[in-house]
Amino acid sequence: MSILVDDDTRVVVQGITGGEGKFHTGQMEAYGTNVVAGAVPGKGGQEVDGIPVYDTVDEAVREEDADASVVFVPPAFAGDAVFEALDTDLDLVVAITEGIPTQDMAKVNKRLSEVDTRLIGPNCPGIITPGEAKLGILPGNIFADGNVGLVSRSGTLTYQVVDNLTARGIGQTTAIGIGGDPIIGTDFVDALSLFEADDETDAVVMCGEIGGEDEEEAANFIDEHMETPVAGFIAGRTAPPGKRMGHAGAIVSGSGTGTAESKINALNDAGVPVGDTPEEVADNIESFL
């Protein structure tokens, strides 16, 4: 049914008093997410739509027994906010913020290797277990409960592919947007191994894009460790070399690594069909079920 989050997950929202934090807390609650607290320095003692706000994540965890956080903190302070979350023994931290300096994320990445907390993001839409809970900004209404896992580097591409799946009655166990930055917490291999271990996930969609070598590493992992069938999609086939296509991570180096072609070839070699269109991805998933 789910990996990582469900309707028992007790969520603290970091940055709950900001515009996005407030709006999406409402959206998350409306979807059924159990938001138990907010954390904003200097705003302790306030309430946001009946949710108690604490000055620190530590207080929120102690008082409300939270086990996950969602970070809606502006980029200048987001690295610090993630550090704070990582120091409180939460199971899961989901960082939505776009534009965190890369060197801040390198420090966060170092700390991650020292703690048991899982980080999703940053610069990601979050995670959703349809019908139970969402942590992030994904539009809940397009998802449906089912047996397909989804992991993606791009938020809007996630929505597109889910829309193609749901339209033909294929629901999802959990969808994870891992984010488009060069340094992220949970990566493809992490997410794929969770889906592989989940009895209720019968097939997985993996949406990648140009830049980096994460998809190539994922292809190796699928080849060596996965029984669950995977269908792929790679965005950026038409991207010219040397240009940054939106995401900090989405740049094709001049030397040929990180291209759509190298990723598609790696996935094909691992037995993963890569669709030319999101509709073809849905066709491929349908053929697995």
Residues in region 26-65 near other proteins by CB under 8 A: none
Is 246 near other proteins (CB under 8 A)? yes
Other C-beta atoms lying within 10 Å of the C-beta of residue 113: 6
67 vs 104 by CB, closer to other proteins: 104
Q: Which of 47, 277, 287, 289 binds other proteins (CB under 8 A)?
A: 277
Mark the segment that binds other proteins (CB under 8 A) among 30-38, 59-67, 223-231, 237-245: 237-245
d(CA 289, CA 286): 5
Q: Give the integer Cα–Cα distance in Å for 6 and 1.
A: 9
| Distance of closest approach, residue 187 Cβ to other proteins, in angstroms | 10
One of 86, 95, 250, 282 touching other proteins (CB under 8 A): 250
24 is catalytic: no
Residue 220 touches other proteins, criterion: CB under 8 A: no
Catalytic residue among 247, 252, 270, 278: 247
Question: Could you say whether residue 190 binds other proteins (CB under 8 A)?
Answer: no
# of chain residues touching other proteins (CB under 8 A) = 62
Phi, psi of 90 (to 5 degrees): -65, 155
SS (H, E, C) 43-98: CCCCEECCEEEECCHHHHHHHHCCCEEEECCCHHHHHHHHHHHHCCCCCEEEECCC
- Which 63-82 positions form the footprint of other proteins (CB under 8 A)? 75-76
Main-chain dihedrals φ then ψ at residue 49, nearest 5 degrees: 50, 45
Q: Which CB sits closer to other proteins, 53 or 157? A: 157
- Per CB under 8 A, the list member of 7, 89, 213, 261 interacting with other proteins is 213
Residue whose CB is less far from other proteins, 210 or 272 = 210
Which 119-138 residues touch other proteins, going by CB under 8 A? 125, 137-138
Ramachandran area for residue 254 (φ above 0: left; ψ -120 to 50: alpha; else beta): alpha
Q: Which of 57, 68, 157, 231 binds other proteins (CB under 8 A)?
A: 157
Spell 22-55 as b/e; 16+ CB within 10 A means b: bebbebbbebebbbbbbbbeebeeeebeebbbbe
Helix axes 155-167, 278-288, angle to 10 degrees: 50
Catalytic residue ranges? 247
Q: Which residues bind other proteins (CB under 8 A)?
A: 20, 24, 75-76, 98-107, 109-111, 125, 137-139, 142, 152-160, 163, 180, 182-183, 207, 209-210, 212-213, 233, 235-240, 243-250, 253-255, 276-279
